[in-house]
Amino acid sequence: MSECSHNCSECSSDCAERTAPADFLEKLNEKSSVKKVIGIVSGKGGVGKSLVTSLLASEMQKKGFKCAVMDADITGPSILKMFGVHQKADGDEEEIFPVSAENGVKLMSINLLLEDETDPVVWRGPVIAGAVKQFWTDVRWGDIDYMFVDMPPGTGDVPLTVFQSLPVGGIVVVASPQELVEMIVTKAVNMAAMLDIPILGLVENMAYFECPDCHGRHYIFGNTPIGKILLDCGIDLGLEIPVDPKLAAACDKGEIWKYEADWLEALASLIE
């Protein structure tokens, strides 16, 4: 083997410096402590990532943990609506302070910084990714046990930025019943595998409707073979969220934490 010249553009040696993976982790705000970061992802939009994120954060908060939600969906934020928060974030020249929901969950979303929450965010990818990094480095989160990151759909700039810049300990994949669900789930699973991030579970939203009279389950959008998907993707835990008018009403009222999501208990216990 030839002697290393310390110039990787010219050197042919496979030394440790060349083969070592680059570390893109951003430094957390120095006045904050976050023990675990959990990402909520999906291969497409409109499947209920914000719903699952809000429910999980509220469930873990009920268990006595200090929880936070980072809304990384910069162009389509909806976390604040779930918690009924419409105020603006405070801050100083160095830091931004998150807003606490009524149940104590700390929140940070781009809508907390806009003059009007209906203003569109017309930014290019790198600027959006930079904003997500600032939510980690410039926000004084305080002491947090579990931070849940609500991702935008797909496998583009922002999910990649979150996976590489934050110490994500695991992800939850969210899907809805449809013929292409396995392909969509697989895309998210493969991205996590490429970045060596464990998958905690698969949540199928709007999976069925439970009749209030006979309490039978009716799979009105089709009975997705979730068992096969779990097996094919190597995921151990799968959960189904029903179509429930009470859940929709809780979201509309901004009272998501008041909803009793018993079917999320297995996932919450796994995260704990």
HEC string of 217-255 equals: EECCCCCCCHHHHHHHHCCCCEEECCCCHHHHHHHHHCC
User: Is 70's pLDDT higher than 90?
Assistant: yes
Cα gap 205→47, rounded to integer Å: 7
**What integer best gives the mean pLDDT of the chain?**
88
User: Is 270's pLDDT higher than 50?
Assistant: yes
How does residue 234 score in pLDDT terms, banded at 50, 70 and 90?
A: confident
**What is the total residue count of the chain?**
272
The pLDDT score that the predictor gives to residue 21 is 45
The arithmetic mean of pLDDT across residues 103-128, rounded, is 92
User: Is 156's pLDDT higher than 90?
Assistant: no
**45-49, 83-87, 143-147: least confident range:** 45-49
DSSP 166: S
pLDDT tens sequence across 125-149: 889 999 999 999 999 999 999 999 9
DSSP 34-49: EEEEEEEE-SSSSSSH
User: Is 97's pLDDT higher than 60?
Assistant: yes
How does residue 82 score in pLDDT terms, banded at 50, 70 and 90?
A: very high
Q: What is the dihedral of CA 263, 264, 267, 271, to 10 degrees?
A: -150
Q: Within 13 A of 99's CA, how many CA atoms are on the CB side?
A: 20
User: Is 254's pLDDT higher than 90?
Assistant: yes
pTM of the entire predicted model: 0.88
Measured in degrees and rounded to the nearest 5, phi and psi for residue 107 equal -125, 145
Whole-number percent of the chain with pLDDT over 90: 59
The arithmetic mean of pLDDT across residues 42-64, rounded, is 92
The pLDDT score that the predictor gives to residue 44 is 80
